[in-house]
Amino acid sequence: MPSLLVDVVLPVPLPGAFTYRWTADLSTRRPASGDLVRAPFGRRRGLVGLVVDVREAPDGAAEVAGYPLRDLEAVLPEAYRLGADRQRLAAWLAGYYALPLGEVVPLFHPPNPGTRGRRARTKPAPYPLQDPLDVSLTAEQTAVVDAARRLLAARAFGSLLLHGVTGSGKTEVYLHVIDAALGLGRGALYLLPEIALTPQALARITVRFGDAVAALHSGLSAGERCRVHEAAAAGEIKVVVGPRSALFAPLPDLGVIVVDEEHDASYKQDEKPRYHARDVALVRGRESGAVVLLGSATPDLGTWQRAAEGRHTVYSLSGRLGGPLPAVELVDLRGEPPRDGFSERLLAAVGETLAAGRQSILYHNRRGFARQLQCRDCGAVVMCPHCDIGLVWHLRPRRLLCHYCAFQREVPATCPACGSPAFLPAGGGTEKTELALRAAFPDARLLRLDHDTTRQRGSHGRILGAFAGGEADILVGTQMVAKGHHFPGVSLVGVLAADDGLSLPDFRAGERVFQLLTQVAGRAGRNDPGRVLLQTWQPDHPVILCAAEHDFVGFARLEAAHRRVAGYPPFQRLLRLGLSGPRQRETSEAAAQLKVALARQLAGDGRTVLGPAPAVFARLQGRFREHLLVKGDLSRGEKAWVADCCRALRDAYRGLEVIVDIDPVGVW
C-alpha cells in the first residue's frame, strides 16, 4: 500500500520536525505542506502539528535516523489548513520570537480542532444602540477612508495610524473601511485589547454587517471557536472581532486589520509564545496585501516614533464629534487627605451629577477593600507565605487574598508578629470605594466592574450593558472601565489616585499612567459637557499635567527625550530574560552564569547587558525571581543563540524556568 513520509513540527520546546508515516487507508485526504495533523509524541497522543514537508516513503521504510516510524493519527479537515500567507506568518513568528516553529502552531487553530458544537452566537448581550447606517464623515475621516480604499483597490499593504482624541469617530472610520473591503469580496479582522470590549464592539459591527460577523476569543466554548474558525475559512463569516487571538482567524482573502487602542499592553501575550499582536498584525497585513489601521487617542510611543520615520502614515482626528473634550480638574490631596479615598470636592461632584440625572464613572485601579492589613502596634503586614507581597483584604467573601498566587486565609484575630488585636487597613480598592459611595449616596444605583465581579461567563457584557442602558447611576471599576467604552450618559469621571503607578521601576510607567488617565477621562462628556476630576498627590508632575491638558504630543515629546538619553525603546531594542526557581541560591547562580555568557557573546556594538537583579517581587508563587536585560539590536541567529543558552540552563538546574521576552512591555 503506498505510503508517505511526513515531516511535522509539534508544540513542544524542541527544534526541528519529526517524521511520521502516512498510508492511504488512514485518511481520505493526502497530507500536504500547510496541513494540520494529529500525531503521537512519546506517551502523548493527538498532538496537533503542522506539516512542513511530504515525500514518498522508500519501500519497506520502518525507521528514520535510527528511530522507528510512527503513523499519523489523522489529517485535519481543509478548514484547518494554513494557507501560504499564514505559513509565512508562522515562520516569521518563530524566527522573530526565537521559538521552534511548532510552538507557534497552537495560535493558528482553536483548542481541540474539529469539536462539534452549537453555532456561535453572533448576537451579543443587548446594548442600547442607535447606530445609523448612513453617516456623513468629516473631512478628516474621509481622508483616512479614501487612503484605505486606494490601498484596497490596489491589493497593497499599508499601515495607517489613526490618531484621534476620544470620541472623535475612529470607530466610524473602521466601519467604512471594513465596508469597502467587504464590497471587494475581502474579509476583515477587528482587534480589541480585551474580551470585555467585545460585546459593545460586536453589537455595533453586527448592526452594520449582520450575520457575516462573529466574535472569536477564549471566553467561547471549544465548539463555538471551532464553528467560527470553520465558517471563516469557508467564507461564511467575513468579519472576525476579538482580542489578540482573533488575529489568526483563517479569513481566506484578508483585506483589512483594525487594531483598536493599539497602545494597550494587553496586546502583548504574557505566556509563550510572547508575541505582540500589534506587531504581528502588521506582518500579517504585509503577507496578505491588507490595510492595517492602528487607532488610538494615545498611541504607543514606539508606534508614534515609527510614524515619524515614515513607516506608518498618520491621520489625525483633531476634534470630538459630540462637543469639546471634558474639562479636567486636578484635586491636590496634599492639602486635603482623602476620607475613604474621596476628597470633599469629588464627593460633591458625584452628588451634583446624580442630582442632574447623569451618570458617573469612578476609577480606582486596585481591587479589594484594603491593599494590606497592617498591625497598628508593631507595623507588621500580613504577608503571603508564597510571595513577597502583602495579602489584600476583601470583604465579600471576607478573607485575605494574594492577587498573584491566589493564596487565601481568614482575617486573623491578632497580629501574627506581636499578638496585638489592633489592625489598620492600609490603602484602598474598589470594594472600599463602592461602600463609601453607598454610604454617601444610599439612593444611588451602583455597579462595580473588576476581576471579582466578572468571574462568571458573560458578566462583562451584562455589567457594561446595564450601565450603558441607564440601569445604574455610578460605575466603579479598575482599568476595565477605561478602555474604549461608549457611554453617552456619563458626565463625570473621577480618578481616585491619578499618580498610582508613576513610581514603578519601569521605563514605561509614565506612559502607562498617561494613557490610562487620558482613556478614562475620555469616557466623560460624549453627548454633553463633561467633567473629570483627578485626585493626586503630585499635581505638578509632567505626566499629570499633560493628561489634564489632553496633550499627547507634548507628553510624547517629553517622554521621547528621556527614553533617547536612557537608551530605551523605541530608540533601542530590548530583550528581557526572566529566571525563576524553587531555590534562591541556584536561581542566582544560573542568572550569574547567563550574564557571563551574554556579556561574552553580545556585549559591544552598541549593546549592553544589565543585571542580573532580583525582580521587583523577588518571590512569587514560591519561586525566586531574577532578571536580565539586553539593550540593542539582535539578529535572528543571536536571539536563537540566547534561547539555546536558556534551554541549556533549564536542563542544568532542576525546576528552573527561563523566559525569553523579546520587546517586553514591562521590566518589573
What string of H, E and C letters represents the secondary structure of 345-366?
HHHHHHHHHHHCCCEEEEECCC
The reply to whether 384 falls in a domain is no
pLDDT computed for residue 371 by the predictor: 86
With cut-offs at 50, 70 and 90, classify the pLDDT of residue 523.
confident
The reply to whether 567 falls in a domain is no
Write the DSSP string, 460-479: HHHHHHHHHTTS-SEEEESG
Q: Say whether pLDDT at 26 is over 80.
A: no
The reply to whether 419 falls in a domain is no
Which of 525, 542, 562 corresponds to the end of one domain? 562
H/E element, 162: strand 158-164
* C-alpha 18 chain-centroid distance: 33
Residues 463 and 580 in one domain: no
CATH code of the domain covering residue 598: 3.30.70.600
Residues 533 and 558 in one domain: yes
Helix (H, G, I), strand (E, B) or coil at 509: helix
Among 275, 276, 314, 318, CA closest to 294: 314
Sequence-ordered strand ranges (E) for 172-268: 187-191, 213-215, 239-242, 254-260
Residues 361 and 506 in one domain: yes
The reply to whether 381 falls in a domain is no
Residues 6+ apart with CB under 8 A from 429: 364, 366, 367, 368, 369, 370, 371, 392
Q: Structure pTM?
A: 0.92
Domain total for the chain? 4
Boundaries of domain holding 8: 3-83+95-108
Residues 69 and 207 in one domain: no
Question: Which of 121-135, 228-242, 378-392 is predicted with the least confidence, judged by mean pLDDT?
Answer: 121-135
Spatial contact of 178 and 291, defined as CB atoms under 8 Å apart: no
More confident residue, 371 or 44: 44
542 CB neighbour count, 10 Å cutoff: 15
pLDDT computed for residue 240 by the predictor: 97
Residues 362 and 492 in one domain: yes
Task: State pLDDT tens for residues 302-351.
Answer: 999 999 999 999 999 988 877 788 899 999 999 877 888 899 999 999 99
pLDDT computed for residue 118 by the predictor: 59
Spatial contact of 31 and 80, defined as CB atoms under 8 Å apart: no
The reply to whether 35 falls in a domain is yes
Residues 6+ apart with CB under 8 A from 178: 188, 190, 205, 208, 209, 239, 256, 258
pLDDT computed for residue 392 by the predictor: 92
- Sign, Cα dihedral of 302, 553, 479, 542: positive
With cut-offs at 50, 70 and 90, classify the pLDDT of residue 158.
very high
With cut-offs at 50, 70 and 90, classify the pLDDT of residue 561.
very high
Q: Say whether pLDDT at 645 is over 60.
A: yes
109 CB neighbour count, 10 Å cutoff: 22
Residues 462 and 510 in one domain: yes
Q: Say whether pLDDT at 646 is over 50.
A: yes
Task: State pLDDT tens for residues 472-506.
Answer: 999 999 888 877 677 888 999 999 999 988 988 89
H/E element, 47: strand 44-56
Residues 351 and 248 in one domain: no
pLDDT computed for residue 423 by the predictor: 86
The reply to whether 515 falls in a domain is yes
Residues 540 and 600 in one domain: no
Residues 306 and 347 in one domain: no
Residues 307 and 338 in one domain: no
The reply to whether 403 falls in a domain is no
Hey, what's the torsion of the CAs at 189, 193, 195, 196, to 10 degrees?
-130
Residues 343 and 475 in one domain: yes
Q: Say whether pLDDT at 353 is over 60.
A: yes
Q: Say whether pLDDT at 135 is over 90.
A: no
CATH code of the domain covering residue 489: 3.40.50.300
For all residues of the chain together, what is the average pLDDT?
A: 91
The reply to whether 483 falls in a domain is yes
Which of 562, 587, 608 corresponds to the end of one domain? 562
Q: Say whether pLDDT at 120 is over 50.
A: no
H/E element, 395: strand 392-395
Residues 487 and 626 in one domain: no
Q: Say whether pLDDT at 238 is over 50.
A: yes
pLDDT computed for residue 379 by the predictor: 87
